[in-house]
């Protein structure tokens, strides 16, 4: 089993944490209760689960400027994930991650990252090297 996955160089610092993964998209505006720190949209595959201090692994990002500044709001309230990994992130959410000091990577060489990483995996995300390592 492969334990190092290569991606496009990302944003943020190296972090270690537990994976919370779903083959679903992500909107900080519509999918989350940013006060309680849980996925709140009933149709989301992670509905009811806490994202605080997790390494979120999701298909794609959706949303615009509001979603981007909401990442900073989450960071300021200490209800943010440690990192977000996407198959494909949009540029506005990447800018929001940079503002929020949130680690973010996307475009994995080995395929769909939501099927490569499982809930409960402990990983190290190194955005500078563009690697995610299962430990």
Q: What is the 3-state secondary structure (H, E, C) of 24-72?
A: CCECCCCCEECCCCEECCCCCCCCCCECCCEEEEEEEECCCHHHHHHHH
Residue 65 has pLDDT above 90, yes or no: no
66 pLDDT more than 90: no
| Residue 97 or residue 68, greater confidence | 97
* Residue 62 scores a pLDDT above 90: no
Are 27 and 67 a contacting pair, CB within 8 Å? yes
Q: Give Cα separations from 116 to 66, 127, 133 (angstroms).
A: 30, 17, 11
The span from the CA of 60 to the CA of 76, in Å, is 24
Rounded mean pLDDT of 4-33?
96
Question: How much is the average pLDDT of 18-40?
Answer: 94
Identify the band that residue 1 occupies on the pLDDT scale cut at 50, 70 and 90: low
Distance CA 107, CA 86 (A): 7
Contact indicator for 51, 39 with CB cutoff of 8 Å: yes
- Per-residue confidence band for 64, with pLDDT thresholds at 50, 70 and 90: confident
Backbone angles phi, psi at 105, to 5 degrees: -140, 155
Closest-CA residue to 33 (of 100, 64, 79): 79
């Amino acid at each position: 089993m492969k334990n190092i996955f290569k991606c496009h160089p990302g944003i943020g610092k190296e972090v270690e944490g537990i994976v919370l993964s779903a083959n679903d998209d992500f909107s900080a505006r519509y999918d989350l209760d940013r006060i309680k720190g849980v996925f709140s949209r009933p149709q989301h595959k992670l509905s009811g689960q806490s994202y605080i201090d997790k390494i979120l692994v999701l298909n794609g990002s959706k949303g615009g400027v509001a979603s981007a500044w909401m990442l900073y709001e989450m960071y300021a309230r200490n209800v943010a994930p440690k990192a977000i990994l996407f198959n494909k992130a949009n540029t506005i959410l990447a800018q929001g991650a940079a503002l929020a000091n949130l680690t973010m990577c996307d475009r994995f060489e080995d395929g769909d990252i939501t099927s490569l990483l499982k809930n409960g995996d402990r990983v190290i995300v190194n955005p500078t090297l563009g690697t995610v390592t299962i430990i």
